[in-house]
Chain A
Amino acid sequence: MKLKQLQSIMQDIAPFADPKIDLEQYPTGAHLASRLLYTVEEKYNEFDGRTVADLGCGTAMLSIGAALLGASHVLGIDLDADALDTARENCEAFEDLPVDLMQCSIRQVMKLAELGLRADTVIMNPPFGTRKNGADLEFLRAAVAVSRDSVYSLHKTTTRAKVQKVAENELDTMAEVLAELRYDLPASYSFHKMKSKDIQVDLWRFKKKQQESKGVEPAEPKSTGTEAESAVTEAAGMAVQGAEGTPQGLGMLEAAGRVEGMQLEEADPR
């Protein structure tokens, strides 16, 4: 499937009907979601024929994308019944999508992981920890516990050093920022005074150093030189060269052209 086609499909996925501030329910946006998913598939080939978990799946945007890109089984997990209602409706719009949904907390996901819950690949757009302190790291820990191989996740650029430390030292993973992106939140919540708010986020890849047995054959990476691969490599290289989170890094990202800015499309918040 081509990127444009994927983005077009993602655009039809319904956002949160009534976003809950305390759960940090931001729309992921078709633009960002499709590029995140496309990177995982084109550069790393970690959806095709694999099991996938989406932690904090919200309206199931990433879960649906993973399924469309060839995942054999996707489990979307969220705390909020209202989000899951929307997620279920979103999934039903497709025929026979291999997506299951489940309601529980991230703490329970951790417990279930201790009891054997696993997926080959974990994808997520977790809370940033702006409402509940430490939520972002709680999701990261659970994701690494669930994954047999890689975790793809979005975290605020301002937390880069902390995330790197936790991922490498505490969780024994190889951690890499794949791209620095600008998350352009429209005024989703009525108390936002500004019209929109820019948050810089890192798209991370965390890879377990010890792959679990009974599991994953190393994915055959797609041939290098595809547009997506070189675009992301360039973006990552440029972004890291610019000092963390400076506009300069992003300016270079946009100038790279092929990445097309990777900005969130403004999603209709209501």
Chain B
Amino acid sequence: MKLLTHNMLACHVRSHKHEEAQPFLIEVTEQGEADADFDPAFLERMFDRIVWKTLYDGALAMGIKDLPESPTKALLDDEVFLRAFHHALLEVSLEEGFLICPFADPSKPNEKRKFAVTKGVPNLLLDEHEC
């Protein structure tokens, strides 16, 4: 699972009653890398579309430290930035681990809801009472 996919997701457990879309935290057991075509026009469109903080936090979880915390649009002209953005968004991949909702069900405050990622495929199936 690439970080672009992760960026599209938010915790969908109704009983959590999130006020805003809540991105998942990432717990990495195993990660991988692939090559993706470098396409600055695509990256520029994605820059406007994604939630940067979610990408930034996800990248840190995957061991990527070369993304700026608050980039401006002007950075899209900077090849060094573009390459780092490209790599984080489209090339690193979570193979084994979990997507975690940081805010638990109020009735079970110590239990975090974890969605397993197996061979790169996240399982977001919910129990009946969570829908």
Contact = CB atoms under 8 A, between A and B. Distances in A.
Interface of A: 49, 51, 72-73, 75, 79, 81, 84, 88, 96, 98, 100-105, 107-108, 111-112, 115-118, 214-215, 217
Contact of A100 (B11, B120, B125): B120
Contacts of B45: 215, 217
A88 B9 contact: no
26 contacts: A49-B41, A72-B39, A72-B42, A73-B5, A81-B123, A98-B36, A98-B37, A100-B4, A101-B121, A102-B1, A102-B5, A102-B121, A103-B125, A107-B131, A108-B125, A108-B131, A111-B14, A112-B124, A115-B10, A115-B11, A115-B12, A116-B8, A117-B8, A117-B10, A118-B8, A214-B48
B12 A215 contact: no
Contacts of B21: 115-116
B112 interface: no
Chain B contact residues, majority secondary structure: loop
Contacts of A105: 125-126
B81 to A, nearest CB: 19
Contacts of A214: 48-49
Contacts of B34: 96
Contact of B120 (A49, A101, A117): A101
Size range of the interface on B? Answer: 20 to 34
A39 to B, nearest CB: 23
A214 B14 CA distance: 27
Nearest to A102: B122
Contacts of A100: 1-2, 4-5, 120
Contacts of B119: 88
B36 A96 contact: yes
B2 A73 contact: yes
Contact of A116 (B10, B35, B122): B10
Contacts of B10: 112, 115-117
B88 interface: no
B90 interface: yes
A84 B12 contact: no
Nearest to A107: B131
A116 to B, nearest CB: 5
Interface in B91-109: none
Contacts of B126: 104-105, 108
